[in-house]
């Protein structure tokens, strides 16, 4: 395992993940220079750190807004953190804005799947079951088919599960992965608390 990693690779990895310089260098060394593997290692570590932070209170934050250029769609999103210092952080504010912009384009209904009413989930499940039976699917595979369709449906309506609409900037990162990255970067618990979307005529 070589300790000879390029400064340019460390810089690129930091920009891609939001991790610190020493963490990025250590991940590249552990991954033997494989950048994609280093990203995976940092994400795993970031998720572990985020899990530790998850119980910490978030009484500070920002309300970010996005108004589409046609002035017919607007979004407000509340993103919370632990301290006023982080609430004033440029990267934190940029994250909140990026989330607001995504909401305007992707129209999620809930922040997380925990917010979806159970009766709504059951109603969707029944629809998928009936459809599978009408298509003559074998009884022993209907359950798996329905589980897969319910999971896909949740991804379509849950903010944290959606991939950010600006793929050129964020790749295939989900909003949850972006949230984990900013939490790791600022060293605080970051929570997308709620959002509201306004569309003319709706």
Domains of the chain: 7-53 (1.10.8.10), 60-111+158-199 (3.30.479.20), 117-157 (1.10.286.20)
Give CA–CA dist 76/88, Å, rounded.
17
Higher pLDDT, 168 or 139: 168
Residue 40: band (very low, low, confident or very high) from pLDDT cuts 50, 70, 90: confident
- Look at phi and psi of residue 6 and say left if phi exceeds 0, alpha if psi is from -120 to 50, else beta: beta
pLDDT at 1 over 50: no
Region 159-186: mean pLDDT is: 93
Across the chain, what does the average pLDDT equal?
Answer: 87
Sign, CA dihedral 156-63-52-9, equals positive
pLDDT at 115 over 80: yes
Q: Quote the DSSP letter at residue 158.
A: B
pLDDT at 51 over 70: no
pLDDT the model gives residue 8: 82
Higher pLDDT, 76 or 132: 76
């Amino acid at each position: 395992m070589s300790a000879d990693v390029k400064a340019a690779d460390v810089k690129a990895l930091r920009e891609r993940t939001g991790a610190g310089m020493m963490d990025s260098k250590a991940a590249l060394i552990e991954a033997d220079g494989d950048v994609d593997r280093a990203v995976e290692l940092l994400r795993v570590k970031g998720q572990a750190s985020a899990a530790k932070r998850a119980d910490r209170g978030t009484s500070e934050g920002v309300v970010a807004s996005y108004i589409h250029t046609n002035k017919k769609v607007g979004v407000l999103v509340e993103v919370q953190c632990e301290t006023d210092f982080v609430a004033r952080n440029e990267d934190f504010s940029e994250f909140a804005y990026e989330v607001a912009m995504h909401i305007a384009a992707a129209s999620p209904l809930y922040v997380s799947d925990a917010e979806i009413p159970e009766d709504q989930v059951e109603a969707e499940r029944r629809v998928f079951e009936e459809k599978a039976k009408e298509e003559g699917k074998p009884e022993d595979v209907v359950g798996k088919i329905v589980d897969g369709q319910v999971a896909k449906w949740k991804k379509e309506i849950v903010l944290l599960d959606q991939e950010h609409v600006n793929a050129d900037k964020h790749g295939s990162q989900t909003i949850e992965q972006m949230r984990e990255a900013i939490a790791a970067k600022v060293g605080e618990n970051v929570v997308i608390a709620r959002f509201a979307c306004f569309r003319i005529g709706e």
